[in-house]
């Protein structure tokens, strides 16, 4: 077999289409390589960026072999034209390196046997990550995928997701493109308070009982999911978020999904301090196959059936239908009795975890939700919200106790 290595040891600004190739060739960059906007560059063999190498990609860079970065890989700040396309033609692709690779847009497209991408280095995404084909395996190889502020992803499915840790930096709601064993099993968080905060998430298709004993649990917890769990950690900052986990009939035990009188499907968390599973509550959305709740801590999460009382804990009555058409009926979100607890907050989120309303001192009169997005730190302020299902969280002080209530709200 013939191997060819191409060395780039000089400063080069590539402004025309270029193919760096041989028969199973390898490209080694030891200098500065700048790919200008509108320029296409491809390397048919493996690409190695040495510790002295700098790659600035504002164009289109096709990677058909393995990728290793021990130097600097980035893009021009403020430039959104950089695309790196991992399109394997020789089988699995290794993405490695001692230094993180910073990409603007990235595409994973490799039809090899799964997992198609072996991620041992860290990569960072600031634009769009396209999961077209191929699972990115960071779990077995130790790599981390980070989404920066403003970064998004698309096309995530069973054939393409991250098997391993995914970190999200920034104060935006985010759906984590995670899974295990060729199954995409998303988790989502609402936006943290600060742009420097970040959370790191992973889905594990294993029984958590071996590490986090299911017999150690609060008395209200009936039985715990013995097939899967998520690890979601707050890795920077002190913000609180609302967590959404998704269930799947292929993995989530059928007994947990069956309707039972006196038992609801909740999210539970392993509490390191008390050494037991604790009930975090939750509201199930059968259509979306999700459970959502405001969590009190972070770490290991899964589903559980939890005993619920017939007697309501709250003396509030929530009317969860809003039709803001001015006919005098259901024109706003009416929470009967909340005016008795003026020290309160009401938050409303859309299905993607984006906060669309926040009100303090909600009184069903001067301060109330009428179908428009307004309040502190909300999206599309003063815009009428589309028809759909939303999630609400009500928190209020009753004496020295803080109580909370959550559920779904429907705008029609």
Strands 198-204 and 165-169, by their bridges, are: antiparallel
Q: Measured between alpha carbons, how far apart are the two ends of the chain, in Å?
A: 66
Q: What is the pLDDT of residue 411?
A: 94
Lowest mean pLDDT among 144-158, 336-350, 380-394: 380-394
- Highest mean pLDDT out of 238-252, 342-356, 375-389: 238-252
Q: What is the pLDDT of residue 404?
A: 87
Q: Which residue has the higher pLDDT, 60 or 8?
A: 60
Reported as a pLDDT band with limits 50, 70 and 90, residue 381 is: low
Q: Residue 390: which residues within 8 A CB-CB, separation 6 or more?
A: 348, 349, 350, 351, 356, 408, 409, 410, 411
Q: What is the pLDDT of residue 378?
A: 57
Q: Which of 286, 306, 304, 281 is nearest to 226 (CA)?
A: 304
Q: Please determine, for residue 1, whether its predicted confidence score (pLDDT) is greater than 60.
A: no
Residue 399: how many CA atoms within 13 Å on its side-chain side?
Answer: 1
Read off the pLDDT of residues 106-127 as tens digits, 9 standing for 90 and up. 999 999 999 999 999 999 999 9
Q: Please determine, for residue 69, whether its predicted confidence score (pLDDT) is greater than 50.
A: yes
**The whole model's pTM is what?**
0.88
Across the chain, mean pLDDT equals 91
Read off the pLDDT of residues 298-327 as tens digits, 9 standing for 90 and up. 999 999 999 987 655 668 999 999 988 777
Q: What is the pLDDT of residue 9?
A: 45
Reported as a pLDDT band with limits 50, 70 and 90, residue 94 is: very high
Domains along the chain with CATH numbers: 24-164 (no CATH), 189-310 (no CATH), 317-411 (2.60.40)
Q: Please determine, for residue 130, whether its predicted confidence score (pLDDT) is greater than 90.
A: yes
Classify 325 in phi/psi space as left (phi over 0), alpha (psi -120 to 50) or beta: alpha
Q: Please determine, for residue 346, whether its predicted confidence score (pLDDT) is greater than 50.
A: yes
Reported as a pLDDT band with limits 50, 70 and 90, residue 18 is: very low
Q: What is the pLDDT of residue 234?
A: 98
Q: What is the mean pLDDT of residues 146-162?
A: 98
Q: Which two tokens stand for residue 362?
A: 């909600």
Q: What is the pLDDT of residue 370?
A: 92
């Amino acid at each position: 077999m013939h191997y060819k290595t191409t060395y780039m040891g000089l400063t080069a600004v590539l402004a025309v289409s270029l193919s760096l190739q041989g028969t199973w060739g390898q490209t080694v960059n030891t200098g500065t390589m700048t790919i200008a906007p509108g320029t296409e560059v491809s390397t048919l063999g493996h690409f190695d960026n040495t510790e002295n190498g700098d790659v600035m990609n504002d164009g289109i860079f096709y990677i058909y072999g393995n990728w290793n970065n021990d130097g600097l890989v980035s893009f021009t700040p403020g430039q959104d034209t950089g695309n790196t396309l991992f399109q394997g033609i020789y089988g699995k692709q290794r993405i490695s390196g001692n230094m993180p690779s910073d990409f603007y847009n990235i595409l994973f497209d490799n039809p090899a046997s799964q997992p198609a991408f072996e991620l041992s280095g860290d990569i960072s995404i600031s634009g769009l990550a396209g999961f077209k084909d191929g699972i990115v395996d960071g779990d077995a190889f130790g790599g981390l995928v980070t989404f920066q502020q403003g970064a998004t992803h698309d096309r995530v499915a069973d054939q393409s997701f991250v098997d391993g840790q995914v970190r999200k930096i920034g104060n935006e709601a985010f759906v984590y493109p995670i899974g295990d064993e060729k199954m995409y099993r998303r988790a989502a968080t609402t936006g943290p308070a600060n742009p420097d905060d970040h959370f790191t998430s992973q889905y594990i298709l294993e029984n958590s009982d071996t590490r986090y004993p299911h017999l150690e649990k609060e008395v209200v917890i009936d039985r715990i999911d013995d097939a899967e769990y998520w690890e979601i950690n707050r890795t920077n900052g002190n913000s609180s978020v609302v967590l959404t986990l998704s269930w799947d009939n292929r993995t989530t035990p059928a007994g947990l999904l069956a309707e039972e009188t006196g038992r609801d499907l909740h999210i539970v968390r392993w509490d390191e301090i008390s050494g037991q599973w604790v009930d975090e509550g939750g509201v199930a959305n059968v259509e979306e196959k999700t459970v959502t709740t405001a969590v009190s801590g972070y770490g290991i999460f899964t589903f559980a059936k939890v005993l619920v009382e017939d007697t309501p804990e709250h003396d509030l009555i929530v009317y969860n239908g809003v039709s803001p058409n001015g006919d005098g009926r259901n024109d706003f979100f009416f929470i009967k009795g909340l005016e008795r607890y003026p020290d309160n907050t009401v938050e409303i989120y859309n299905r993607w975890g984006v906060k669309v309303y926040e009100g303090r001192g909600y009184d069903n009169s001067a301060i109330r939700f009428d179908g428009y997005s307004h309040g502190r730190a909300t999206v599309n302020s003063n815009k009428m919200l589309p028809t759909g299902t939303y999630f609400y969280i009500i928190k209020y002080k009753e004496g020295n106790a803080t109580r909370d209530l959550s559920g779904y709200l429907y705008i029609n």
